Structure formats: structure tokens, C-alpha cells
A = this chain, B = another copy of it.
Amino acid sequence: MGDPKPFDLNALFGHVDKNKDSFIQRLAEAVSIPSVSSSKEHRNQVIFMVKWMANLLRESGFSAELFELGDETFPDGSKAVLPPAILGHLGKDPKKKTLLIYGHLDVQPASKEDGWDTEPFKLVEKDGRLFGRGSSDDKGPVLGWLHAIQAYQALHIDLPVNIKCVFEGMEESGSKGLEELLIKKKDFLDDVDYVCISDNYWLGTSKPCVTYGLRGCCYFFIEVQCAAKDLHSGLYGGSVHEAMSDLVYLLNSLVSVNGRIAIPGIMDDVEPLCNNEQHVYSNIEFDIDDYRQMIGCKKLIHEDKVKTLMSRWRYPSLSIHGIEGAFHDPGSKTVIPRKVIGKFSIRIVPDQKPEHIAKQTVEYLDAQWKARNSPNTYKAYMVDGGNHWKAPLDNFNVKAAAKATKNVYNVEPDYTREGGSIPITLLFQELTGKSVILLPMGAADDGAHSQNEKIDVRNYIEGTKVFCSYLHEIAQEGK
């Protein structure tokens, strides 16, 4: 081994550039594992993915332990074992600060029939882009951390911090079991000084950012049942109260064409605008026309930068995702579905509370149902309630992330909030009592949760350099 070499940012960057192909190859391996956490059928693949990652960590000197998280019970009553979580650490030097990194190894569902141009679980490089489910959310960033650490090791540069990591396999399905584990293993978190999470995106496609806030997500099911079995609409239509028309009535009562949520009192706990808040938003680089074109919609709800950013970050929104149990294939089927489950979620913001949102929402739906006066069976409930998170802007972790970003991209990053939810962020802040920061690797057009998810080669490689630099900058507090 020999003596450690002095810190050399350019050498680290050079190492990352030189190993580009092998880093992409490793991402291809990760993407080829269909670790979809929402379905029972893929559970073994998620477990395989977690073990694959634990082995990689161990090969780089980590101690990486797998912790079982118990069973998951599905709405149909069936059960499946949860994928284990990895708690790892590398280095225990009491003279160094300890950084905790978090990432997830599971992905959203994906199939070619959903409209992917390529096989979702095969990484395909095209025009500087790496297409594949999980490439950006979140396998690319997780491997980015590993490769950044490996760069220090390869060049014999002493790691500036002790590293701890928490990698899980249930993030896309509510991080089931992880909170209980972290509470139980609180001593694992005791010596953590900073937390950094890379599981979100730039605001646009060219300028990097550091993220200090996230919305929470409250997910609801509405179940309506009208019959013991599906019915032929010719034979029974006209004589039964149909579950689908009841459900459509309830779903239609939730939100206006312009996204106004109809649930009474839902806005009561939303943090009021403070004096300079407008100004913070107007400083951010964000082109409303680019954004609209990226979405491919004709018209946004607000054709105004500040209002659009606020509607995504600091105000709640409600989305209807779909219906389980109804006819959903191409073509025609003359069925009266016996039981249908409508699914929607509300993104929540400071100072809304999931429990209160659940109460307001279910009470409202109960009242709508009563007014409907249908004899069918009905139930509305929250299946998952993740809270929002917001960090103070003036702490060292934010500054280190910003400096690291500037060292790579030569630009002062935007300071942003995000509309998506990573409930674990809040949990880390609560359990460690230390500052948490989100340092995104991917760009706004990566299509997380969508068809043709990708990460640009640039973001994957330069993002790895940002991590290299951040590992150094975060060690500089008080120096």
C-alpha cells in the first residue's frame, strides 16, 4: 500500500474519467436486476439486488451487514418477506467526521408494453444517454458514491471522512420496515455528523442544484364493491348500482380542472408565504417554456415561473393514479366490474401532517359517499403517509455540497426544493439530529417513474466527481 498520497482533486477527477466505461458497465449490471418493490412477484429480485450491492461494498472494504425487516401484508391478505436493508461503514477514525449516505436499490415497475422504446431492464446507451429503469432513480447515484470512494482508494488518498451507508430495497413502496430498523439501531446513527442523499434531480437539464426541501406523500385507496362477481353489462346493466360509476363520482369530487383540492380545510396548515420568499424563487434558473416542452403538454396550470415552482414545492397537490379491478386492456370488454379500487395521492408541505390529512380526506369522502346514497360497499383509507422535510439553508452541509458542485460544474448551484417525497430524509434528520442535504446527480428530464428512464453519461460521470469533491469539502468544517 505505501503511505497515503495527499488530497488531489484533479487526480480523483482524472481517475473517474478514465474509468467511465467500467462505471457504465457496473450500472448496466445493476439495471439488469428488475428490483421492482411494489409487486410480490419481483421480491426475490429486490433481495438479489440488495445482496449484490452488499458484496460490492464489502469488496471495497466496507463492513456491510444485512438486516431483515419482517413481512409485508398485501391488500389481498397475502404476505411476502421484505427485502433486507444494508447498514454499512468504512473507517472509524475518531479524528474524522462521519458522513452517512443513503440510497435505494429498488425501482418503479416498468415493462415494454407501457411504451418503452427499449427493454427497461437492459441499459442502452444512445446519444450520451443511458436508458434503463433505475439508471437515475436510484442505482446510478448509489454506484456514484461507491465509485467516488473507490477513486480515493485507487489513488491511495486517505478518505477525508468515515463513511456510513444505509441502502434499502423498499423506497418506491414506502420504505416499509426501515424506520423501525433505524430506531432499533439508533447507536449506528449516533456518531453521524452529516447526512447526504442523492435521490432527486436537477430542476432543469443543464444547471446543478442543492436541494433543501421535499413534499410528503399521502396515498389513498377508495374501494367500492357492487356485486359478488363481475357482471355482463348486457344481462345486468340497468338493474344494479354499478361500482364504477360510484367510484368515478368520488374521484371526481377530489380536485378541480386547475388542480385545486376540493377537500375542506386542506390548505389550513400550509405555511404562509414569508416576505422574501417570492424573491428566493424568482432567482432560480428555470425556463417555463422548456419545462412545458419537456412535459409535452399544451398549457401549464400557471404560465409563470414563480407560481409553477411554488405549486411543485411549497403547495400541496392531488393526483389520481388509476383504478384496480376495472377493465384496463386495449380493446372492448362489456363488463360491470364487481369491485374497483381508486388510487390517488396528496403531496403535502410544511406544516401539514399526514394523520390530519388522512382524517380530512376520509371524512370528506365519507360525506361525499353519504350524499351519493348508493347501497354499495365503500371504504376509503390512507395506505401510506409520508411527511415533508425542509432543512435550514445556512448550514455547513449545504455549503459543502454547493462548493463540491461548483468545483465540477463551474457554476453556483441553484438552491431548490422538490415536489417528490423521500420520507426517509425527515427520519434521518430526526434520528441523527444533524443536518441532511439532497445532492442530486440526475437531470429533470431523466423520467424517473416514467417510460424511457435515463441518466445522461455526463451526469453520471460528473456527478461521481461531485461526490469525490463533497467527501473532501464536508471534512473541512472548522478547519
Contacts and interface: CB of A to CB of B under 8 A. Distances in A.
Interface in A248-264: 248-249, 251-252, 254-255, 257-259
Contact of A301 (B229, B240, B320): B240
Contacts of A452: 229
Contacts of A258: 241
A143 interface: no
Interface in A346-381: 347, 372-377
Given A232-B420, A323-B322, A347-B233, A227 B295 contact: yes
A252 B74 CA distance: 30
A429 interface: no
User: Quick one: which of A234, A295, A302, A335 has the most chain B CB within 10 A?
Assistant: A234
A359 to B, nearest CB: 20
Nearest to A307: B239
Contacts of A335: 108, 321-322, 449-450
A252 B317 CA distance: 21
How many copies make up the complex? Answer: 2
Contacts of A291: 239
A217 B241 contact: no
Interface stretch (A1-9, A119-127, A266-274, A324-332): A324-332
Contact of A252 (B75, B249, B319, B451): B249
B333 A327 contact: no
A293 to B, nearest CB: 9
A274 to B, nearest CB: 20
Interface residues of A, number: 101
Interface stretch (A88-96, A308-316, A468-476): A308-316
A301 B252 contact: no
A229 B131 CA distance: 15
A128 interface: no
B239 A257 contact: no
A217 B258 CA distance: 35
Contact of A74 (B249, B331, B336): B331
B228 A241 contact: no
B322 A332 contact: no
Given A219-B332, A323-B328, A312 B235 contact: yes
A321 B327 contact: yes
A242 B296 contact: no
Contacts of A299: 241, 375
Contacts of A312: 235-239
Contacts of A332: 38, 173-174, 219, 321, 343, 345, 383-384
Contacts of A321: 233, 244, 326-327, 332-337
A195 B119 CA distance: 52
A190 interface: no
A291 B302 CA distance: 52
A383 B248 CA distance: 22
A242 B320 contact: yes
A230 B114 CA distance: 9
B39 A330 contact: yes
Contact of A241 (B173, B297, B308, B324): B297
B329 A39 contact: yes
A115 B328 CA distance: 15
A472 to B, nearest CB: 30
Given A227-B296, A233-B345, A331-B39, A257 B241 contact: yes
User: Quick one: which of A239, A240, A332, A337 has the most chain B CB within 10 A?
Assistant: A239
A418 interface: yes
5 contacts: A108-B333, A115-B229, A233-B319, A242-B259, A248-B251
